[in-house]
Amino acid sequence: AHDIWISMERNMACAAGFCGLCQFGPAFVCRDGPVFRHDRIAPFLAVAGL
């Protein structure tokens, strides 16, 4: 799973992680991404509402 990368898109307002609109689980797409290793975000892909 270290070779699988996912590009995420979320609505962003501040682009610094302060507003929380781009939060996905414990990560912020604007600050920590937008590209994530699959094994880092896989546990949150099945959570409704994220």
pLDDT band at residue 25 under the 50/70/90 scheme: confident
pLDDT at 33: 84
* Domain layout of the chain by residue ranges: 5-45
CA distances from 17 to 1, 2, 32, 38, 46 (A): 26, 25, 9, 21, 23
Of residues 24 and 4, which shows the higher confidence score?
4
Tokens of 45: 């892909």
Per the CB < 8 A criterion, the answer to whether 33 and 27 are in contact is yes
The H or E element containing residue 7 is strand 5-7
Calculate the average pLDDT of the chain. Answer: 86
Each residue of 32-46: pLDDT tens digit? 989 999 998 889 888
Share of the chain above pLDDT 70, in %: 96
Task: Tell me which residue of 4, 2, 3, 50 sits closest to 29, measured CA to CA.
Answer: 50
3-state secondary structure of 27: strand
